[in-house]
Amino acid sequence: MFQTEIILFLQSFASEFLTSFFNFISDITSHALTMPLMLLILFGVSFRLGFILVHVVLWNGLITGYLKNYFGLPRPCGVDSAVSRLDKGIPNPTPFKSMGAKSFFGGLPQEPIEYFRTHQIDTFGFPSGHTSRATASWGSLFMFFKKTWVRIISVVFIILVPLSRVYLGRHFLVDVLGGYLVGFAVFLVFYTFVFRKNKLKAYVFEKLGKFRFDLKSIFFLTYFLVIPFFLPFLPNTNLRYSASLLGVNLGFMLLWMRGIPNDEGHLFQRIARVFIASVFYFGVSTALEKGAGLLFGGVPIAVEFVRQTLAFFLVIWGSTEVSIKLGFFKR
């Protein structure tokens, strides 16, 4: 499954139309576009379902990022110069040729693995982040919403995204299979233990949050506050996703103590809520990034972590409070 022959076969059909189409499919499930989709659901459709979806996306990113750094395996373009980088249209920089696995269940030679890790000519490949994100997010949408058109779109993306990553030369077959496994596992955990647990949902989304001396409160505090604070100190942790999770949870905790907003509102109110959240998401994040660049001449890792945390904290808490003040949300 580390063979490049499958990729080369798909790329033999390459055309300008196919490449543009698969780049579109790949880009639409990138992190940069997935989070705005989650915010659209969070503030425009259902705050409670959207909040679960945001956690699905963030935990999927954390687990996928950890596995990528843990295994440290190259992408197809790192082991075979014949594989084209159709996603960027740039030359393949690898010095290796035909160094993929020699059999379907064979592994990669150690030489290209060590070269890839040493020279860091690209990000690590296994498992596929696009595939896991598409499976986790669109799989959740498939189960959360019963609309036929939502389910059709979900299935289409879950199938086409992995195919696009192989065609574009970004992943081996085993990478997308690993992505499927991670995405499905994350989705299944949240669907089983969060979405379907009415008692847990009643506690997390109750009208006015109150801490009690019981097991649920301990679990609640541990998950929402303790774990996110310790995640950045673990090895191979993706700081962007851990910072985002911390910011989301801190913002939610403040809302929870004063009362989670309901989902009522006519179309204009829902559009206004999404607009306000988008302004916070893009405006605050950009302003903090520009500010860090002016102060530090760049964005150090610690500053980037703080920036990401603040951005998501203000999106969840700030935009919701503004919408409540303007009458677009009600507690």
> What DSSP letter does each residue of 127-147 carry, written as one string?
SPHHHHHHHHHHHHHHHH---
Q: Are 216 and 200 a contacting pair, CB within 8 Å? A: yes
Cβ neighbours for 288, distance < 8 A, ≥ 6 positions apart: 307, 310, 311
Closest CA to 224 of 316, 300, 302: 316
| Spans of the chain below 70 pLDDT | 199, 207-211, 292-300
pLDDT computed for residue 297 by the predictor: 59
pTM of the model: 0.90
CA distance 54 to 42: 8
pLDDT of 155 reads 95
pLDDT of residue 104: 81
Within the chain, residue ranges assigned H as helices are: 5-11, 16-28, 31-44, 47-71, 110-119, 129-144, 148-167, 173-190, 198-204, 215-221, 227-230, 239-258, 267-278, 285-296, 301-313, 319-325
Q: What is the pLDDT of residue 208?
A: 62
The pLDDT value given to residue 54: 92
Intra-chain end-to-end CA distance of the chain, in Å = 52
pLDDT of the residue at 287: 77
- CB < 8 Å & 24+ apart, contacts of 144-149: 144/49, 144/52, 144/53, 144/195
Return the pLDDT at 217.
77
